[in-house]
Amino acid sequence: MTSAIQSIPLKTIDGKDARLADYAGSVLLIVNTASKCGLTPQYEGLEALYRANRDKGLVILGFPANNFLAQEPGTEEEIAEFCSLTYDVSFPMFAKISVAGEDRHPLYAALTAAQSEAASPNGNAMRERLASKDIPIWDEPEILWNFEKFLVSRDGQIAARFGPDTPPDDPALLAAIQELLD
C-alpha cells in the first residue's frame, strides 16, 4: 500500500530530486529543523536515534524551515555544513521549505491534514510559553514550532505527530517508533 505523500516532489539539501517513495519500506520520522533555535540540540538526539535504529529500518528526514522567528536563515550549503560539523548529522536532509502558512510545502500540508494535533510530553506548556513571550504562533493543525515530528509507517501512512518539545528520547516517541519497526 502506498500513500499520496510518497509522490510529493522534494529536493535534497544538495539539490537532487527526491520523494518519500525513495524510502518506501522504511519507518520515517519527518522533522522540521532550524539551526538557531533553542531546540537545535535535538539534532544530537535525532542522530543518536537514527544511528541506533537505521539498520532496523528507521530513517529520519530533516526539513529545514525558516518559519519561526527566522531561526533558519542559512542557505542549503550553510545548513548542511552546520549539521555536519556541529552534530555530525548523517540522516537525510532536504532543501529549506516552508512548513506553515499560505506558502507551506505540499508535504507539510498533507502531514498536518492527516494528523491535526501533536502529542506533547508537557501538554500545552510550549504553546503557553511561546504565547507568554508574545511570540506569534499558529493554531493547530499548523506546525507550532521547529522540531515538530511526524512518524510515517512502512506503508506510507502517517501514524503519529509529536510536538516540538518532544525530545528524540521521549518514551512515547520511542514506543511509537518501536511499534512500527516491529
Catalytic residues, by residue number, are 37
Bond from prior residue into 164 cis (ω within 30 degrees of 0): no
Radius of gyration for the chain, computed over Cα atoms and rounded to the nearest angstrom: 15
Distance CA 121, CA 165 (A): 7
* Cell 501538554 -> residue: 123
- Stated as kind and residue range, the H or E segment containing 28 is strand 27-33
Amino acid at 128: E
